[in-house]
Structure 1
Amino acid sequence: MRKVLIIAEYFPPAGAVGTFRVTKFVKYLREFGWEPVILTLREECYIETKWPLDQSLMKDIPEGISVYRTSLWKSALFKDPGIRWIPPLFAGISSVIRKERPTLLYITGNPFWPMIVAPTVKFFHRLNYVVDLRDPWKLAQPIKPLRGYKARSVSLINRILEPIVIKHASKTICVSEQMCQEYRHEYSDLSPNHFAVITNGYDPDDFSSVRPKKFNEFTIVYAGKFLTGESFRDPTQFFCALRKLLDRNFNVHFVHVGQRDAEVMRAAARAGIKTQCDFVGQLPYKETISYTKGADLLLLIGGGQRTEQTGKIFDYMGCERPILALASKDSGIGDVARDASNITILENNDDFGAITGAIEAYYTGGQNGSTKSGGSTKYHRRVLTSKLAKVLDQAG
């Protein structure tokens, strides 16, 4: 069986969003002729950088998989763990390659700057590599753009590093068709076949054994983070819609599972809905699924970017519950919505009356029981891993 060296900053037991994609690839790759070898961070690095830990994620790592872990560079000047991982990554990767003798290297980001190790390894070890972009790199639209000297420096480094990494890669993977189109346009000197699309997805195994949480009233659940006052997942219109329903004596409850945000809670208070909201905080993945499986309606709010295809939508699909998506229809989220029968998609900048009407339809329609996500298995993690294996076959 051929070996692929997987470089990933986020890996179990890290509870970061970026953990899930690579972990599921590792779970299923052996079925498709590839033995994964992992190079990642030590657990104490996640504790130091305040990433939540979720030990239950370790169950997806098959027995016998080699996992090598490094520390972070101790630096008073640089706080970003992505930057601080670069020196230990360079220091440790050669010994792993000599010991494991992989056929191919796979590296995923963000963070992006550690990816510079890949072309270096290719030069010194004659090892081809595949880049997996979970988000746009140079082409990203920052939520809060940096300003001044720091912004110019970061932009310059990104403009230098990204072409080096992508042009020397055998393949570059994007998570949505829109993102792939943008990168094909940006790197028109490369063959269109250089880029491949492998979306995020969900693993039915994660959902079958979890019991839905019981709620006493019609409950809308949102899992993840908000950012009020910005275009990025702003719940303001949803809160206004909820207020309108409460004024009409609808008994609707809202639950937010994720890191508590004081500004979001203040926004709920300003809308006059605080008593109907429950901000439960960050929970382990399995417990989060219990909440989402028990919801009468799942809420998804997009970030306003065309390339976005949040992983949350796939976890929601695994719960087989109705989904209200406030996002652009011309986006990665819109693509997924068209593949599923249980998703209603509305623009988040719509008049909140449209959102009110959609929630009312679910409330009065008695959407009880299981709601299938369209019957498609193309977003199952095993199927997506088979696509990755084909990319690795072509690159190796």
Structure 2
Amino acid sequence: MKKVLIITYYWPPAGGPGVQRWLKFSKYLPDFGIQPIVYKPKNPHYPTQDQSLNLEVSSKVKVIEKAIFEPYSFAKILSKSDTESLSKGLIKSPKKQSKLQESLLYVRGNYFIPDARKFWVSPSVKFLAKYISKHQIDCIITTGPPHSLHLIGQQLKIKFNDLKWIADFRDPWTNIGYHNELKLTEASAKKHQQLEQEVLDQADALLVTSFETQREFQSKTQTPVNLITNGFDDESVRVEDLDEQFSLAHIGSLLSQRNPQLLWEVLAELIDELENFKQFFELRLVGNVSEQVIDSINKFGLKDYVSLIGYVNHQKAIEIQQSAQVLLLIEINSEETKGIIPGKLFEYMNAKRPILAIGPENWDVKRLVDETSSGTVFTYNDKQKLKAQITTDFKAYLNGKLIVNSTNINQFSRKNLTENLSKVIK
């Protein structure tokens, strides 16, 4: 059986989307003749935690760990709220940033390259070099963000030239939306680009989660770029009863930039114009929501129709997805985000409820939703089409006929995706 060492920052009890990908891959890799060994930090700073995910760690996975220096622990001394907001990605718009948050962003972007986990690189290389020599590891996989973990793989590859190194990009590096929020100097921006290029060129294989990132990396390097999306696990328990209200549910963080005022405007108009809509409509927001998004919702008069549920564990999130009348998927309207395919898209598909997505032009999500007939995708210029779709869904709801007939989603099951991954590893 081949041994693969997976170097990851996010591991249970980490909550949020970052932990799901390798938690699930490691569960199924033994089915394809691969023994997963996970290396993680002993004392991580996780902005959200989900203790229930500890129960999903396969008994076939060996976990090793080492302590890490966490700058966020010291930043909390200055401002716990600003530090936690940054670590959750809840960055305020430049006009609303405090001087302290501006300073924290500048320090994060220019003194912690590629990110605040850079101090884990050298001790991890030293520790893992001994482990690899002793345990005959066949392949290492680094997964980012945080992209500093790829530097661990880079240095181990130099020490063990025959060792296969796969760099997994759950999100892009220099081409991700928040990169421009870090107040980078010209020298810092060039350093990020240099490190990214070194990783792309020196890895034996690359993994990406979207068509756009695959195209981007293929234009930058000759290293094979393999597209393996995120996916869903077949849940043993399914919720049979749908919400009584006409619920539009969004699961996950709503950052300041991810604020679909177009949707709030449409919903406000439907409350005024569509008979019975105000009686049955409910907007359910599950996860961290920025103050700016809440202010925007209130500005459009939707306060009385909103349920702010906050962060819930993964199993509860699955239950909410399965009971919702409509599932909302929102992405920032920018060129950089057209290659972002949120992991929850695939769980939405498996929930078998209609997906209503709003995002940028030429968004990769549209291709997947259209191919699986799992919902509808709109741009930020599609106000009337969006309004018409919600009206259609509401009338179907009133008649008890709001369903979705999705097809060909089994390709995104975690086990099938792991089979594809095993071919890259071997």
Query: 8 Å contact 1:13–1:57 — kept in the other structure?
Result: yes
Q: 2:69 aligns with which of 67, 73, 84?
A: 73
Which residues of 2 match residues 356-395 of structure 1 at below 5 A?
A: 356-366=387-397, 368=401, 371-393=404-426
Q: Does residue 259 in structure 1 map to residue 288 in structure 2?
A: yes
Whole-angstrom CA distance in 2 between matches of 1:326 and 1:286: 25
Query: 8 Å contact 2:255–2:289 — kept in the other structure?
Result: no
SS of aligned partner of 1:349: coil
Find the counterpart in structure 2 of residue 244 from structure 1. 269
Whole-angstrom CA distance in 2 between matches of 1:108 and 1:50: 16
Whole-angstrom CA distance in 2 between matches of 1:227 and 1:20: 20
Q: 1:59 aligns with which of 52, 55, 62?
A: 55
Q: Does residue 16 in structure 1 map to residue 12 in structure 2?
A: no
Deviation at 1:369, TM superposition (A): 6.9
Whole-angstrom CA distance in 2 between matches of 1:219 and 1:16: 22
Query: 8 Å contact 1:3–1:101 — kept in the other structure?
Result: yes
Deviation at 1:18, TM superposition (A): 1.0
Q: Does residue 292 in structure 1 map to residue 317 in structure 2?
A: no
Whole-angstrom CA distance in 2 between matches of 1:83 and 1:372: 46
Q: Does residue 158 in structure 1 map to residue 187 in structure 2?
A: no
Whole-angstrom CA distance in 1 between matches of 2:233 and 2:197: 33
Whole-angstrom CA distance in 1 between matches of 2:316 and 2:297: 24
Whole-angstrom CA distance in 2 between matches of 1:36 and 1:272: 51
For residues 71-119 of structure 1, what are the alpha-carbon distances to aligned partners after superposition, in whole Å with 9 as ceiling and x for unaligned?
Answer: 2215558785422432442242123213432101111111112211112
Deviation at 1:61, TM superposition (A): 2.1
Whole-angstrom CA distance in 2 between matches of 1:254 and 1:89: 45
Cα distance change, pair 10–74 in 1 and its aligned pair in 2 (3 A)? closer
Find the counterpart in structure 1 of residue 171 from structure 2. 135
Whole-angstrom CA distance in 1 between matches of 2:169 and 2:190: 19
Query: 8 Å contact 2:232–2:346 — kept in the other structure?
Result: yes
Over the residues paired in the alignment, what is the CA RMSD in angstroms?
Answer: 2.1
Residue type at the aligned position of 2:340: E
Find the counterpart in structure 1 of residue 92 from structure 2. none
Could you tell me which runs of 5 or more consecutive residues in structure 2 were left unpaired when the two chains were aligned: 75-106
Length-normalised TM-score, structure 1: 0.89
Find the counterpart in structure 1 of residue 247 from structure 2. 219
Query: 8 Å contact 1:289–1:319 — kept in the other structure?
Result: yes
Q: 1:196 aligns with which of 221, 226, 229?
A: 226
Find the counterpart in structure 1 of residue 182 from structure 2. 146
Q: Does residue 184 in structure 1 map to residue 218 in structure 2?
A: yes
Find the counterpart in structure 2 of residue 322 from structure 1. 354
Query: 8 Å contact 1:220–1:299 — kept in the other structure?
Result: yes
Q: Does residue 117 in structure 1 map to residue 152 in structure 2?
A: yes
Find the counterpart in structure 1 of residue 208 from structure 2. 174
Cα distance change, pair 280–153 in 1 and its aligned pair in 2 (3 A)? farther
Q: Pick which of 384-393 and 117-126 moved more.
A: 117-126
Deviation at 1:12, TM superposition (A): 1.4
Whole-angstrom CA distance in 1 between matches of 2:403 and 2:341: 24
Query: 8 Å contact 2:212–2:339 — kept in the other structure?
Result: yes
Length-normalised TM-score, structure 2: 0.83
Query: 8 Å contact 1:176–1:308 — kept in the other structure?
Result: yes
Deviation at 1:54, TM superposition (A): 1.2
For residues 108-134 of structure 1, what are the alpha-carbon distances to aligned partners after superposition, in whole Å with 9 as ceiling and x for unaligned?
Answer: 111112211112111212322001111
Query: 8 Å contact 2:36–2:61 — kept in the other structure?
Result: yes
Q: Pick which of 56-65 and 266-275 moved more.
A: 56-65
SS of aligned partner of 2:219: helix
Query: 8 Å contact 2:349–2:409 — kept in the other structure?
Result: no
Q: Pick which of 332-341 and 213-222 moved more.
A: 213-222
Whole-angstrom CA distance in 2 between matches of 1:146 and 1:183: 22
Deviation at 1:245, TM superposition (A): 1.2
For residues 48-88 of structure 1, what are the alpha-carbon distances to aligned partners after superposition, in whole Å with 9 as ceiling and x for unaligned?
Answer: x3422212212332214210112221555878542243244
Whole-angstrom CA distance in 1 between matches of 2:215 and 2:316: 37
Cα distance change, pair 312–348 in 1 and its aligned pair in 2 (3 A)? farther
Q: Pick which of 92-101 and 110-119 moved more.
A: 92-101
Cα distance change, pair 153–279 in 1 and its aligned pair in 2 (3 A)? farther
The number of residues matched between the two structures is 377
Query: 8 Å contact 1:108–1:134 — kept in the other structure?
Result: yes
Q: Does residue 349 in structure 1 map to residue 388 in structure 2?
A: no
Residue type at the aligned position of 1:25: F
Cα distance change, pair 5–181 in 1 and its aligned pair in 2 (3 A)? same
SS of aligned partner of 1:338: helix
Whole-angstrom CA distance in 2 between matches of 1:240 and 1:56: 37
Q: 1:279 aligns with which of 286, 304, 308?
A: 308
Whole-angstrom CA distance in 1 between matches of 2:14 and 2:393: 36
Residue type at the aligned position of 2:406: S
Residue type at the aligned position of 1:112: H
Whole-angstrom CA distance in 2 between matches of 1:290 and 1:125: 45
